[in-house]
Chains A and B, each alone.
Chain A
Amino acid sequence: MHASTNTAGTLLTGLRVQRRVIWALMLRETKTLFGKHKLGYLWALINASFTIGIFWGIRALAGAHAPHDMAMPVFLVGGFIPWYLFNETITGAMNGVSGNRALLAYPQVFSIDVILARTLLHGSMYSCVMVILLTAAATVGHKVPIHDPGSVLTALVLALLLGLGIGCCCSAFNLMWPTTRQLVPMVLRVMFFTSGLFFSVEQAPAYVRDILFYNPLSHLIELLRNGLSAGYQSQFVYLPYVGGFVLTTLAIGLLLERYSRKYINEDS
């Protein structure tokens, strides 16, 4: 591994090893995350449907309607799926590294692999959950016109990347200051209520909207809803801001991941 060896070749081998490691981790995580329950992955679906169902019920009791004539369950799916992608990726990244220290004894396994494996797993799982829930909504007679598949995909991928960037940061901070683990869920709780999961950010009063603008997740939720329905066209979404935010957090997160490696040891 001298510097004189073929750098491109080394990089290629490295990438091949990393792909293998991430795949192995994904297979393993599916087992450890859901393997012990009888219904396995179905729990992700049950959990999401339950939460959305509860909020649907509450909204229906309050007599609320989704804006722009959107069906309430579709509106809620549009809010909760990006949230799940975002939230689960951050939590998964943070707990994945500290909970898998034993694995890091294998020299080819780095914390970033654990994080990426979990991100890919959650990404594919919640995309499936979204498809299933939308299909269910369409089956029971709600309008689900996928107006703009490009926006839907962009919103999902960006929500995942946003979770990945912030997740890398949190995971690194968690290694350096274990208090992070207490603080992050508190911040996430605030985001749950302020990202427009079960209301439309666009319809919030102007002074609230101006504050919520800085929350990148709220843009992605609106973007997904724009993609799901032709009638729902929120002017709130400003992609350059979200893109910049995602790139910045990813860059910082990856740097911190590299930097925090030396804090990983058996004892702490």
Chain B
Amino acid sequence: MIELRGVTKRYRTTRGIKTVLNDISIDFPPGTNMGILGRNGAGKSTLMRMISGAELPTAGEVFRKASVSWLIGFSGGFHGSLTGRENLRFICRIYNADIPTVTAFVEDFSELGDYMEMPVNTYSSGMKAKLAFGLSMAIDFDYYLIDEVTAVGDSKFQKKSKEEFDRRKDHSTLLVVSHSVSTIKTHCDAAAVLEEGTLTAFDNVNDAIGYYERH
């Protein structure tokens, strides 16, 4: 279970204080793949960083009673001058995962081949995403936080990812943020809409999409 209680995030900008998230309270129960819809700049990524614990909210609390992945999106926290394999080792170490097992899985899943031995800054964005995605799949999390699934790789890789998600549906839960309605439709059981710092939750994806499209 992940619970958000009164989560508020404000940033100081040159034009004064900007409230990105305003008093958000929501539960993410295990087993319900949840989509969060929002336009560009609605604060989706900020919300996800709060959920993952990468950033602390200005006010309110986030309770994580399960293992939660880092925010999986385009780049991930890779170091450009290190190779894919070196980055993999680092992430295994901080998550206490078995390096050989993870390596075997990632090599098979991400299809990067010899690129595993190349510095990550030689990768295309698709390749980086594949590495990040494969890695997060190899380390077993209860919750996966995903930023714009559509960005991850080509259609073949997306199909593979979808299959992998479906396979682990009974023990892993997805939280997906996207501005794209179709992404949320493919992956989620329920959805919420984020606008102007406020989150409105719906039990049904179609209700959420209807609300999102009206606004």
Contacts and interface: CB of A to CB of B under 8 A. Distances in A.
Interface of A: 1-2, 17, 20-21, 23-25, 27-28, 31-32, 35-36, 102-109, 261-262, 264-266
B90 interface: yes
B96 A20 contact: yes
B177 interface: no
Interface string B75-93: 1111101100010011101
A2 B61 CA distance: 10
Interface of B: 11, 45, 49, 52-56, 58, 63-65, 68, 70-71, 75-79, 81-82, 86, 89-91, 93-96
Nearest to A265: B55
Contact of B82 (A24, A28, A107, A266): A28
A106 B64 contact: no
Nearest to B93: A24
Contacts of B63: 1-2
A110 to B, nearest CB: 10
Contacts of A261: 56
Contact of B71 (A23, A31, A105, A265): A105
Given A1-B63, A1-B64, A106 B93 contact: no
A102 B54 contact: no
B11 A102 contact: no
Nearest to B45: A266
A interface majority secondary structure: helix
A27 B64 CA distance: 29
Nearest to A28: B90
A16 to B, nearest CB: 9
B90 A107 contact: no
Q: Name the residue among A2, A106, A261, A266 with the largest chain B CB count within 10 angstroms.
A: A106
Nearest to A101: B77
A108 B93 CA distance: 11
Contact of B75 (A25, A35, A102): A102
A32 B53 CA distance: 26
B56 A31 contact: no
B102 to A, nearest CB: 13
Given A1-B63, A21-B94, A265-B11, A107 B54 contact: yes
A265 B55 CA distance: 8
Q: Name the residue among B52, B54, B95 with the largest chain A CB count within 10 angstroms.
A: B54
Contact of A107 (B11, B53, B93): B53
Contact of B70 (A27, A28, A107): A107
